[in-house]
């Protein structure tokens, strides 16, 4: 069973400046909650019980957000503001724990994942990159399907989606015989980090959701610096794939890249319109603005 998920949150968010100058980009609000809450909820909905934040000294507000705030809770209780009280106490369900470890140097995503080695121990685990929000319509979300498939065939699962050819150099790209149907997995022949346009093995890009075995940590320890002079998770997966089957899982949901300003605005629109209380009014307001 996959019960642990690593969320690397140590990145400085340069793509999101100036907003991310003094607040973590993960704490930027999408409608009425920080972006990272959606990612934690996605993990919890897939059965994850321990969230491991790989973090940085400037990002304490993320840990504070997922902690209890006794003073605030007492104030809301005394004022009988029970709805608000519920909204802050229900952020993390009781059966889920949030732990954190520091990434002392910005040496890349692979290095960030490796920082959680001792917490993960001998268990397989999930990785969720918090820049990307994944919106699923099915009750069983994409990550849950990947975990189910991992348990069935005992092969790592890498979530992918098709991107336009001119964008392949921004992502990890998988090499597969053919593109699987949405919601299905296929064994991959290779994976490469940010290939130059024209050299990519496909247009299926790595979305930022992975289900990996514990032994990837050993491979990460041996992974030399790669693209961008960083230790890349993609390169360790490429090594793993030489010794055992690794599958690309084609997602069904929709992605929103909240690490980019336009992707973020799109997320605000989508999540705003779908919000159970605010959605209808928000939609009417957009129409009224007559943009
Ligand atoms: C990381 C991964 C890349 C993946 C991307 C998804 O890159 O290294 O393989 O496609 O996330 O967002 P980054 O965006 O951190 O450069």
Is the model's pLDDT at 139 over the cut of 90? no
**Ligand 1 atom at minimum distance from 131 CA:** 12
**What is this structure's pTM?**
0.96
* Ligand 1 cavity residues, CB under 6 Å: 109, 129, 131-132, 171-172, 193, 205-208, 232-234
| Closest CA relative to residue 109, chosen from 229, 259, 260 | 229
Closest CA to 171 of 250, 251, 234: 234
DSSP secondary structure, 166-228, as one string: GGGGGSEEEE-SSPPPTT-EEE-SEEEESPPTT--S-SEEEEEEEEE-TTHHHHHHHPPP-GG
Domain that holds residue 16: 4-289
The first and second tokens of residue 145, run together, are 């399907």
Q: 132, 134, 158, 170: which to mutate for ligand 1, most atoms within 8 A of CB?
A: 170
For the CA of 205, the closest atom of ligand 1 is 10
Asked whether the predicted pLDDT for residue 14 surpasses 90, the reply is: no
Structure tokens at 114: 């490796």
Number of domains observed in the structure of the chain: 1
Characterise 229 by phi-psi region: left (phi > 0), alpha (psi -120 to 50), beta (else).
Answer: left
Band (15; pLDDT cuts 50, 70, 90) = confident
The beta strands (E) that lie in the chain are given as 4-8, 29-30, 33-34, 50-55, 97-102, 125-128, 132-135, 156-162, 172-175, 185-187, 190-193, 204-212, 246-250, 254-257
Sign of the CA dihedral running 257, 130, 210, 189: positive
Whichever domain contains 280, its CATH number is 3.90.550.10
Q: How far apart are CA 148 and CA 165, in angstroms?
A: 31
User: Residue 131: which pLDDT band, with cuts at 50, 70 and 90?
Assistant: very high
Query: Cα-Cα-Cα-Cα dihedral of 263, 269, 274, 279, to 10°?
Result: 160
31-82 pLDDT per residue, tens: 999 999 999 999 999 999 999 999 999 999 999 999 999 999 999 999 999 9
Q: Do residues 227 and 178 make contact, with C-beta atoms less than 8 angstroms apart?
A: no
Decide: helix, strand or coil at residue 6.
Answer: strand
């Amino acid at each position: 069973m996959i019960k642990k998920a690593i969320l690397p949150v140590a990145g400085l968010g340069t793509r999101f400046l100036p907003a991310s100058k003094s607040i973590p980009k993960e704490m930027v609000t999408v409608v009425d909650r920080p972006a990272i809450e959606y990612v934690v909820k996605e993990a919890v909905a897939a059965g994850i019980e321990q969230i491991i934040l790989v973090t940085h000294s400037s990002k304490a507000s993320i840990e504070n957000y997922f902690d209890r705030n006794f003073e605030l809770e007492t104030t809301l209780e005394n004022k009988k503001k029970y709805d608000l009280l519920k909204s802050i106490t229900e952020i993390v369900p009781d059966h889920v724990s949030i732990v954190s470890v520091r990434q002392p140097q910005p040496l890349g995503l692979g290095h960030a994942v490796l920082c959680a080695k001792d917490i993960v121990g001998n268990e397989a685990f999930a990785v969720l990159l918090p820049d990307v929000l994944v919106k699923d319509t099915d009750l069983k979300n994409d990550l849950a399907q990947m975990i189910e498939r991992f348990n069935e065939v005992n092969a790592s699962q890498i979530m992918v989606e098709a991107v336009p050819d001119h964008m392949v150099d921004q992502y990890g790209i998988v090499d597969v015989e053919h593109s699987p149907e949405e919601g299905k997995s296929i064994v991959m022949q290779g994976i490469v980090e940010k290939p130059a346009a024209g050299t990519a093995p496909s247009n299926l890009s790595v979305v930022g959701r992975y289900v990996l075995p514990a032994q990837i940590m050993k491979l990460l320890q041996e992974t030399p610096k790669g693209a961008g002079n960083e230790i890349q998770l993609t390169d360790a997966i490429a090594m793993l794939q030489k010794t055992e089957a690794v599958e690309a899982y084609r997602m069904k949901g929709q992605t929103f890249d909240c690490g980019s300003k336009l992707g973020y605005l799109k997320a605000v629109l989508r999540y705003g319109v779908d919000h159970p209380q605010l959605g209808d009014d928000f939609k009417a307001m957009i129409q009224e603005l007559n943009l």
